[in-house]
Structure formats: structure tokens, C-alpha cells
């Protein structure tokens, strides 16, 4: 088990971040970070305090047009002894009227990347209430944007490791005791959330020869140990004995043993139960319906749903949310072999319903069908599944949007609310009865594939047959699970999408 034991690169020191009481214009440090809106006159907050101490240097700079405060603009200044800070970095927040926490997270990331790339090892950032946002909210979002923005996956790089740059220390500044306390609370929450997203990203970025179903199970066991959670890992033979014909069919084509992982937080405490089900295909070759080789290497990300579920459980436990959470992660490879399942095979799912396999590449819905049925035994208040389910969803919505499906308007609304808070965009698609026609089979209850038309929806329609009447949401994360072009606080590669959205939903959960 190498990937950062799993998972933290032992040679790279992680950024240390803490809060202190102090004033920005008086605080000695390598670099003082200040945020500014566009045309910020008159200056406010920390920017104003530092400007006064610096005899109007910053306001003069702004007047001359050398720093405009445009969104994510970065301007580095050397203080030449005029301030206790050696340097000041000004970072733009854009127009005040357009301010939101998504931009704040982006600015934290862009400033962090600028500082890291400049080789500066330490910086200080003063936090003061802003535009109706509390110190706590601002600290949480700053820490989240910063950690996620400076994320790097270097575990497999052995050359020129001395060139890897990392920020060593960050100090958040509060002026009064009350502010220090609020900032500290936000910092801890932000850190717990970023650690979870980092875990999910590491698992997605890790190659499939390392991130096997066995490794996912080991990681789940480690989290269970560290957080006092219940864990159960079913072997394929046990899943078979239970009747999980769909999960077993996918797993049997691979030499790498499949694992059906169930991680449970706050078991037996009489709290509301929520089930999270994540697709854990550690590599999707398509199986006998093999995929074209171009871009096939990307299919190591086909376990992003399971990674998000695992990471969410870790965070929810860290935040000690008063909920009973069950994380269900069917994990296996999807490979062709003499033992692999085949098109035309008919599988008996755990629900008792039968499925005719049309394409072995529509394996996600098969393993999820057994995962969803398994979740019903907990009589959950809600079931949420996450899966890199269909290429069609990427075609429909692009690589930054989650496909959102469900059978319950209230639950869908709650997801949309969480989504707008975390900036992980989700867009609703319908599951009308008419679509089910496409999935009818002559030989079995359903086929696992319909037409090319409405591909993302048909994946959702298929899954809907396995949740009975329980409020359920399906998140198709095929697009945003990993990306080729970076976003403000999401570097290229595995994104950990869904983790923050789920955590937000669960933090806001009310009966
Ligand atoms: N893992 C893929 C979906 C996928 C495709 C994710 C591209 C990310 C990027 C899934 O198992 C799959 O192969 N789905 C098929 C379904 C089809 C056979 C109905 C697809 O999308 O082509
Ligand atoms: Zn597939
Ligand atoms: Zn897949």
C-alpha cells in the first residue's frame, strides 16, 4: 500500500495552518496577503489599516492604476522595511456587487498558487467580516479554496523532487478574541472538508494498479478504525451467496478481487439514516464490450463515486454531524477475460429483478443496482448515489456539471441548495415513465442499455428501479470527476467532486 500510505506523500510536508491574534500592519511575516475589490476607494478593513501604516502606498498604487482589484489579479510588493511584513500580495476579488464565497475560494486559491510558485514559504492573512459574511464563513471558505487550489499529486514523481514547491505555514489573523475564536472554528471545518476532498482526489488520481478494490477496502478500514465507525467488507463469494448477481457478474472478469464495502457512522443511535452509494469501478475497460483504446487511461477515475462516499464519511465523522450515515461502495474492475460476463447474459440482481446485459460497458448501473438494493435494509430517509455513469452526461452538460436525477422534489431541492453553496454545479434531468420503454427486454425484466438517445437519463431510469419508494437522488459525475482544464481552485485531474456538496447537504440536514 504505497499511495501516501494511503494517501499522503511522506516526503512532502503538508501546509501547517493556524490562527493568531494580531493586527496585519504590525505582524512580522514573509508575506502579508490582502484581498481587494475592484476600485476599492475608500479602502476598508485590513487593506485600510495597512495602507495607513504604509503612508498611503497602496492607495497611491491603486490611483496610478497599477492594481485594479480585478478578479484573481495578483500584485506582489516588497515593503523594504516599511512594514513588519517583508512582502505584501494584493489579490483582486472583482466587483463588490458580484461578491460570493465561490469567488472568495477562487481568490484564496489563486493567491495560494501565486505565493507557492514564488517560492515563499509562509504567509499571513487577516480575516474581517465582509459583505454580510461572518469571520467563520470566510475562514472556512478561505481555507477550503487555499487547500484545494494548491493541491498537487506528486507521489509517483521521482525526478527533481527538490523542485516541488509547497507553502509551509499559513497564519490567519483575528483582531479580537471573539474573532480569533470564530476564525478558528471556520479553519477547523475548512480543514476537515479539504482533507476529505484531498483524499478523494488522491484516490482518483492514483493509478488503477495501486487503487484496487482491495486498497479502497483497506482505506475504508483505516478510516473506520481512526473514527470509530463500523465497517463490513464483503468478498465476491459472500456477495454471491447473498444474491448480488449484478455486482458479482462484473467482478468475476477480473483477477483483482472485488470488494463490497459498507462503512457506517453513528450506528444504532436512533438518528436519521442516510445512505450514500458510490460507484467503485477502479478501472473500466468496458469488459467484453471493450472501449476504444484512445483515452482509456482515464477510466481509472471510474471509482470517483466511491471515493466521494468514503471521503464524505471521513468528513462527517470529523465534523461529528448528528446523523446515521451508511456508505456503500461496490468496488471492482471491469475487464474482459475468459471468466467475464458477456452481452446477452441475464443477471439476477439482489432485488430479485433480472437484467439482460446488452453492453458490458454499462457496468456501473449493474453494481449500483445491488448497492441500492442493499441500502434499503437500513430503511434510510434518503439514498444518494454518485457515479461516473455515462459519457452521455458529459455530452449533455459538459465537464463542470453534475447530472442530477431523483424521485423526490424536496431531496432534489436540498441537493440544489447545497450545490449552489459549494459551487459544484448540478442540473436536473427528467426520469419520465416514457423513457422506461427503451429499457424493456424480451428476455428479462430490463436491459442494461437502451438507445443512444437520452443516454444519461436511461442510466438514471435504470437505477430508479432499485430504490422502491425511498427518496433518492442520482448524481452522474462522469463530467466533473476529473478535468483536463483547471478551474479556479480545482487543478487538473481528479477533482473530488461531490464531496463538498454531500457534506453541505448533511450539515444542513433537518429531519
Ligand atoms: N464509466 C463509463 C462512463 C464514462 C464515460 C465516464 C466517459 C466518464 C467518461 C460507463 O461505465 C460507461 O462506459 N457507460 C457507457 C454506457 C453505455 C454503454 C450505455 C457510455 O457512457 O458509453
Ligand atoms: Zn463502462
Ligand atoms: Zn464505468
Per-residue pLDDT tens digits for 44-90: 999 999 999 999 999 999 999 999 999 999 999 999 999 999 999 99
pLDDT score recorded for residue 455:
97
CA distance linking residue 29 with residue 447, whole number of Å: 64
* Mean pLDDT computed over 467-495: 98
Asked if pLDDT for residue 13 goes beyond 70, the answer is no
Instruction: Tell me how many helices (H) and strands (E) the chain has.
Output: 14, 20
Residue nearest to atom 18 of ligand 1 (CA): 362
Q: How far is the CA of 7 from the centre of ligand 2 (A)?
A: 26
Torsion angles phi and psi, residue 9, rounded to 5: -60, 115
In the chain, the percentage of residues whose pLDDT exceeds 70 is 97
For the stretch 307-344, pLDDT in tens is 999 999 999 999 999 999 999 999 999 999 999 999 99
For the stretch 392-407, pLDDT in tens is 999 999 999 999 999 9
β-pair partners for 89:
33, 76
Q: How far is the CA of 362 from the centre of ligand 3 (A)?
A: 6
CB 362 within 8 A of CB 374: no
pLDDT score recorded for residue 418:
98
pTM over 0.75: yes
Asked if pLDDT for residue 7 goes beyond 70, the answer is no
Tally of CA atoms within 13 A in the half-sphere of 393 that contains its CB? 30
For the stretch 149-181, pLDDT in tens is 999 999 999 999 999 999 999 999 999 999 999
On average, the pLDDT of the chain sits at 96
Q: Residue 10 — pLDDT band, cuts 50, 70, 90?
A: low
CA distance linking residue 304 with residue 481, whole number of Å: 6
**Active-site residues: which are they?**
291, 365
Q: Which residues line ligand 1 (CB under 6 A)?
A: 284, 302, 359, 361-364, 388-392, 394, 449, 455, 478
Q: Environment class of residue 487 by beta-carbon count within 10 Å: exposed (0-12), middle (13-18) or buried (19+)?
A: middle
CA distance linking residue 108 with residue 167, whole number of Å: 13
Q: Which of 282, 283, 355, 362 to mutate to test the pocket of ligand 1 (most atoms within 8 A of CB)?
A: 362
Q: Residue 40 — pLDDT band, cuts 50, 70, 90?
A: confident
Asked if pLDDT for residue 245 goes beyond 60, the answer is yes
Give DSSP secondary structure letters for 352-403: S-EEE-S-TT--HHHHHHHHHHHHGGG--SEEEEEE---HHHHHHH-TT-EE
Residue nearest to atom 16 of ligand 1 (CA): 362
**Cell for 229?**
465507525
**Contacts of residue 390, Cβ cutoff 8 Å, sequence gap at least 6:** 403, 455, 456, 459, 476, 478
**Cell for 419?**
450545490
- Please name which ligand lies nearest the alpha carbon of 479: 1
379-403 in b/e burial notation, b at 16+ Cβ within 10 A?
Answer: ebbbbbbbbbbbebbbebbeebbbb
pLDDT score recorded for residue 12:
59
For the stretch 205-235, pLDDT in tens is 999 999 999 999 999 999 999 999 999 999 9
pLDDT score recorded for residue 8:
52
Other Cβ atoms closer than 10 A to 82: 13
Asked if pLDDT for residue 187 goes beyond 60, the answer is yes
**Cell for 199?**
483524499
pLDDT score recorded for residue 3:
46
CB 400 within 8 A of CB 497: no
Q: How far is the CA of 277 from the centre of ligand 1 (A)?
A: 18
SS3 43: coil
Residue nearest to atom 22 of ligand 1 (CA): 391
Amino acid at each position: 500500500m504505497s499511495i501516501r500510505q494511503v494517501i499522503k506523500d511522506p516526503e512532502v510536508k503538508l501546509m501547517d495552518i493556524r490562527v493568531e491574534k494580531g493586527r496585519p500592519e504590525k505582524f512580522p511575516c514573509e508575506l502579508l496577503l490582502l484581498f481587494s475589490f475592484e476600485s476599492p476607494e475608500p479602502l476598508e478593513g485590513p487593506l485600510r489599516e495597512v495602507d495607513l501604516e504604509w503612508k498611503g502606498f497602496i492607495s497611491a498604487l491603486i490611483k496610478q492604476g497599477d492594481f485594479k482589484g480585478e478578479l484573481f489579479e495578483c500584485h506582489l510588493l516588497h515593503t523594504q522595511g516599511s512594514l513588519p511584513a517583508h512582502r505584501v500580495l494584493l489579490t483582486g476579488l472583482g466587483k463588490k456587487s458580484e461578491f460570493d464565497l465561490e469567488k472568495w475560494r477562487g481568490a484564496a486559491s489563486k493567491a495560494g498558487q501565486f505565493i507557492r510558485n514564488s517560492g515563499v514559504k509562509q504567509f499571513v492573512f487577516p480575516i474581517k467580516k465582509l459583505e454580510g459574511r461572518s469571520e467563520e464563513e470566510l475562514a472556512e471558505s478561505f481555507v477550503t479554496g487555499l487547500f484545494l487550489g494548491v493541491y498537487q499529486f506528486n507521489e509517483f514523481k521521482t525526478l527533481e523532487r527538490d523542485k516541488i514547491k509547497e507553502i509551509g505555514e499559513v497564519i490567519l489573523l483575528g483582531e479580537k478574541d471573539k474573532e480569533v475564536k470564530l476564525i478558528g472554528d471556520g479553519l477547523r471545518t475548512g480543514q476537515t472538508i479539504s482533507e476529505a476532498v484531498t483524499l478523494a482526489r488522491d484516490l482518483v488520481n492514483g493509478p488503477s494498479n495501486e487503487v484496487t478494490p482491495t486498497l479502497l477496502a483497506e482505506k475504508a478500514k483505516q478510516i473506520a478504525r481512526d473514527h470509530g465507525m463500523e465497517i463490513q467488507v464483503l468478498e465476491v463469494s459472500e456477495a454471491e451467496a447473498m444474491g448480488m448477481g449484478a455486482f458479482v457478474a462484473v467482478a468475476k472478469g477480473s483477477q483483482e478481487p472485488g470488494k463490497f464495502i459498507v462503512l457506517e457512522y453513528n450506528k444504532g443511535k436512533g438518528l436519521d439514516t442516510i445512505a450514500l452509494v458510490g460507484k467503485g469501478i477502479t478501472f473500466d475497460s468496458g469488459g467484453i464490450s471493450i472501449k476504444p483504446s484512445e483515452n482509456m487511461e482515464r477510466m481509472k477515475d471510474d471509482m470517483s463515486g466511491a471515493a466521494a462516499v468514503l471521503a464524505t464519511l471521513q468528513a462527517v465523522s470529523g465534523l461529528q454531524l448528528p446523523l446515521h450515515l451508511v456508505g456503500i461502495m461496490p468496488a471492482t474492475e471491469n475487464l474482459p477475460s475468459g471468466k467475464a460476463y458477456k452481452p446477452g447474459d441475464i443477471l439476477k440482481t439482489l432485488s430479485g429483478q433480472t437484467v439482460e446485459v446488452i453492453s458490458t460497458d454499462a457496468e456501473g448501473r449493474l453494481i449500483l443496482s445491488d448497492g441500492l438494493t442493499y441500502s434499503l435494509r437500513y430503511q434510510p430517509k434518503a439514498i444518494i448515489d454518485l457515479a461516473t455513469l455515462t459519457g452521455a452526461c458529459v455530452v449533455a452538460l459538459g465537464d463542470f456539471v453534475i447530472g442530477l436525477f431523483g424521485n423526490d422534489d424536496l431531496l432534489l431541492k436540498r441537493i440544489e441548495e447545497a450545490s449552489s453553496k459549494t459551487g459544484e454545479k448540478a442540473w436536473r434531468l427528467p426520469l419520465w415513465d416514457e423513457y422506461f420503454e427503451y429499457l424493456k427486454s424480451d428476455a428479462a425484466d430490463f436491459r442494461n442499455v437502451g438507445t443512444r438517445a437520452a443516454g444519461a437519463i436511461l442510466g438514471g431510469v435504470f437505477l430508479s428501479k432499485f430504490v422502491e419508494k425511498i427518496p433518492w437522488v442520482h448524481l452522474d459525475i462522469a463530467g466533473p470527476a476529473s478535468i483536463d482544464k483547471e478551474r479556479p481552485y480545482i487543478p487538473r485531474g481528479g477533482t473530488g467532486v461531490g464531496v463538498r456538496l454531500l457534506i453541505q447537504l448533511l450539515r444542513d440536514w433537518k429531519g
